Structure 1
Amino acid sequence: MLLRNRWVILSIGMVAQVASVGAMFGVPVVLPQLRQVFDVTTAQAGLLAGIPSFGLLLTLLLWGLVIDRAGERATMTLSLVLTAGALGLLWIATGLWTAGAALLLVGAVAGPVNAASGRLVLVWFSSRERGLAMGLRQSAFPLGVGLASLVLPTAADAWGFAGAMSLPAVLALLTAPLVLAIPAAPSAPVRSGPAGGGEEREAASDSGSPYRQWTIWRVHGVSMLLGVAQITMMTYALIYLVEEQGWDPPAAGAVVALAQIPGAAGRLLFGVWSDRLGDRMRPVRWLAVAATGCLLLLTVLPAVRSWTAVPLVLACLSLTSWHNGLTFTSVAETAGAAWAGRALAVQNWLQGVSTTLTPVLMAAVITLAGLPAVFAVGALFSAAAVAAVPLTPRAAPREEA
């Protein structure tokens, strides 16, 4: 049966995540229409654009428990339906407060799709394929942001803010029946058979909390540390090219967009490498070392060799994003199927904390030392990640009894 094919299941999970990403992060690309319909200032519109992320932080840990109790199919289906309903409330929002309430609800209900689709990878793919599969699944985030950037502004010009935000709602409703039709997950995740010959169910192991050990905490910590460098590049790369290198904003935006291509390709390649290596975190350590060096070069080298700015921006944007799939997979495998939903929710929640706090930290850095200094601070966090990466021999993944 087609829906029992693990790659089809992965594709459905990716489409569901694209819908969720469009709902969560589509608002920034239609801010002009939002300002017009609600008659708010640019600062107020920016506040509204950030409200879904705040809603995500409020509920994501609870959603992780729901995933482990109710399963990923039921949780994703419920989330997609609720997300469509929350986006529909934008049609009746009449002002700043009602729009903010609707967007807060969007973030509160859209969050679990990412963690739940990650759990699908854990239970449907063997350990020799999870790096690639998780890299593909993680690519749904830049894909969702890219599609939103291409489609929503035009839709907003034609149908208004609420009309544009109805597109991810429609995609969510169309995807929900497909998610619900996914067969029940295997009772235990699969692993490759001897010499790669077929797949076998992994034996169940101790189902106690993975948070009794330091390993998963260290993986979470590494992800947060590297997330500071990643968010720094995502937030300040364009404005750096404009203010420090004299580029026009459209040209600088094209450079940032161009970085998404190696950014996505690198996630897949490092996922495959980790599959062959049998280790998720050793490649993360090498990435942290490379990102540290590249960020330090970006801090100082363009001041004396201006032509190096664009290659270094592209390299830093890519290097700081390649760890995501690896750390996500490591968290899932360390937690095991019984705890994967909660662990992946914690992973997303902590990443949300990094996303929220990094611009606050870097605003202080810019005030005290100037814009290029943010890259040096990002390098310090990457260097700390090098030391934090757990490199002890990886135990067999913990599985649900």
Structure 2
Amino acid sequence: MATLQQAGLTFVRFGLPALAPFMRADLRLSLGQTGVVLGAFDLGALLAFYATGVATERWGERRVMACGSLITGLLAATAALAPSATLLALLLAAAGVGFPSSQVAGSQAVMGSFPSWERGVAMGVRQAGLPVGGLLAAGLLPWIASAWGWRVALVVAGLGCVVAGLATYAGLPDGSREADGGPRTALHSLVGVTVQFFKSPPLVLTTLTACLLAAGQFGLAGYLPLYFVDTFAWRPEDAARLLLFVHLGGIAGRMAWGWVSDRWFGADRPRPIALAACCAAATVGALALLARMTSVPTLAAASLALVAGFTLLGWNGLYVTLISELAWAAGAVVVGLSMTVLYVFTMLAPPAFGWAVERAGGSYTAAWLGVVALQLAAAVTVLSVRRARRTVAHALEPGD
């Protein structure tokens, strides 16, 4: 059920990049303005992650997950009626408030159900819901937008999210945190948890790693279709379908990197994350080199998109597992704090990428190379987590 709920939310979240070429043409947006619209959803998520963690500790995963899906789905469908880019961005920001429910509450549901040596695969399966939703969005929404317009496609995405939320509420056991009339983590301790978070080198370094990696992930998901439209004169609907292969790669990557972590690295998370980051850097470098070509064969573009999804989308499950394991009993709150910081980067990444392209006169090469540098920096920071853990036995002890 956690995977289904994640897929419903990301049907909306990753539906936005798939619809970006259609929105851009209809609303006459610049690349930077397109990035602002894409980043608005993440602004709403950014503001809600911490509160979602607190809500999960108080009311349990089931209620939070179902409510999150309903909020995102209904407001995304409403956003389709927006007459201007400004109102569209505001409504998408409001829709984003429901998105953290899968990342925070859904992750806690998985963490409490599996031992450490199985969590990598289990979290990878749950996190695979993100590219599954993206795959559905990339395959279905451009087709709907071509036939009936992007507004109808956005309504379809919102209604799909609502259905996933209702199914989650009906099918997920009630895992309420309230054992004796009070939340598992008392509200008076939340300030202490926040202070401990920022004083813990492993938690800070893990969060920084995720921020660096996310710049590549959201640059790819937000601008790969536009890259092929602007550089190789692909039709928008054909370019948007490259996201199908990105998300297929992401599904395989999230499960595969989790399996590698559990089986090859003995439940160690930092080393496979570093390996994934290095592979991602190489893949984005290949994307940058494509600009030297006058045209790109469809098979080559699809293959590169598949590999890009495997590497740039594959690390998320390991990050959530690592931050949750470091957090101990305050898991939901700490995951919410970490993702609040993370989503500052995800919110800024699309407009920053678009700004870099515009500053380069429409060339995407410098922006892609910037992503390469960030992926390599992430490999360095995540390996520092292992050294920090030798000094700090646990980031948060139970009862802190």
| Fold similarity call, TM over 0.5 | yes
Q: 2:260 — aligned with what?
A: 273
Q: Do 2:284 and 2:369's aligned partners in 1 also have CA atoms closer than 8 Å?
A: yes
Q: Do 1:231 and 1:358's aligned partners in 2 also have CA atoms closer than 8 Å?
A: yes
Q: Do 2:138 and 2:243's aligned partners in 1 also have CA atoms closer than 8 Å?
A: no
Hey, what's the Cα distance between the residues in 2 that align with 1:260 and 1:326? 17
User: Structure 2 matches for 1:126-145, cutoff 5 A?
Assistant: 126-145=115-134
Structure 1 residue 130: Cα displacement: 0.6
* Residue 324 of structure 1 pairs with residue 316 of structure 2: yes
Q: 1:365 — aligned with what?
A: 356
Q: 1:263 — aligned with what?
A: 250
Residue type at the aligned position of 1:363: G
Corresponding residue to 2:338 among 336, 344, 347 = 347
After superposition, what is the alpha-carbon deviation per residue over 1:37-68, rounded to whole angstroms, capped at 9, x for unaligned?
Answer: xxx72439956665432222222222222222
Corresponding residue to 1:43 among 17, 29, 50 = 29
Hey, what's the Cα distance between the residues in 2 that align with 1:94 and 1:173? 26
User: Structure 2 matches for 1:75-94, cutoff 5 A?
Assistant: 75-83=64-72, 86=75
Q: 2:271 — aligned with what?
A: 282
Structure 1 residue 17: Cα displacement: 1.8
Q: 1:377 — aligned with what?
A: 370
Structure 1 residue 185: Cα displacement: 7.2
Structure 1 residue 30: Cα displacement: 6.0
User: Structure 2 matches for 1:244-259, cutoff 5 A?
Assistant: 244-245=231-232, 247=234, 249-259=236-246
Q: 2:169 — aligned with what?
A: 176
Residue type at the aligned position of 1:332: S
Q: 2:386 — aligned with what?
A: 391
Which stretch of the first structure deviates more once superposed, 161-170 or 350-359?
161-170
Structure 1 residue 138: Cα displacement: 0.9
Structure 1 residue 355: Cα displacement: 2.1
The DSSP-based 3-state class of the residue aligned with 1:288 is helix
Hey, what's the Cα distance between the residues in 1 that align with 2:163 and 2:119? 30
Hey, what's the Cα distance between the residues in 1 that align with 2:12 and 2:344? 19
Cα pair distance change 1:21/1:257, threshold 3 Å: closer
Structure 1 residue 83: Cα displacement: 4.2
Residue type at the aligned position of 2:160: L
Hey, what's the Cα distance between the residues in 1 that align with 2:11 and 2:354? 27
Structure 1 residue 313: Cα displacement: 5.1
Hey, what's the Cα distance between the residues in 1 that align with 2:14 and 2:296? 33
Residue type at the aligned position of 2:386: L
Larger radius of gyration: 1
Over the matched positions of the two proteins, sequence identity in percent amounts to: 25
Q: 1:237 — aligned with what?
A: 224
Structure 1 residue 113: Cα displacement: 2.6
Residue type at the aligned position of 1:112: S
Considering Cα pairs closer than 8 Å and 6+ residues apart, tell me whether 1 or 2 has the greater RCO.
2
Structure 1 residue 151: Cα displacement: 4.5
Q: RMSD over aligned Cα, in angstroms?
A: 3.9
Q: 1:194 — aligned with what?
A: none
The DSSP-based 3-state class of the residue aligned with 1:43 is coil
User: Structure 2 matches for 1:38-187, cutoff 5 A?
Assistant: 41-43=27-29, 46=34, 50-83=39-72, 86=75, 95-96=83-84, 102-152=91-141, 154=144, 157=148, 160=152, 164=156, 165-179=158-172, 181-183=173-175
Residue type at the aligned position of 1:120: A
User: Structure 2 matches for 1:289-308, cutoff 5 A?
Assistant: 289-300=278-289, 303=292
* Residue 218 of structure 1 pairs with residue 234 of structure 2: no
Corresponding residue to 2:327 among 319, 324, 335 = 335
Task: Extract unaligned runs of 5+ from structure 2.
Answer: 180-191
Number of positions where the alignment pairs a residue of Structure 1 with one of Structure 2: 365
Hey, what's the Cα distance between the residues in 2 that align with 1:34 and 1:355? 20
Structure 1 residue 110: Cα displacement: 3.8
After superposition, what is the alpha-carbon deviation per residue over 1:88-113, rounded to whole angstroms, capped at 9, x for unaligned?
Answer: 7569x675577665444322234323
Hey, what's the Cα distance between the residues in 2 that align with 1:283 and 1:274? 6
Cα pair distance change 1:334/1:98, threshold 3 Å: same
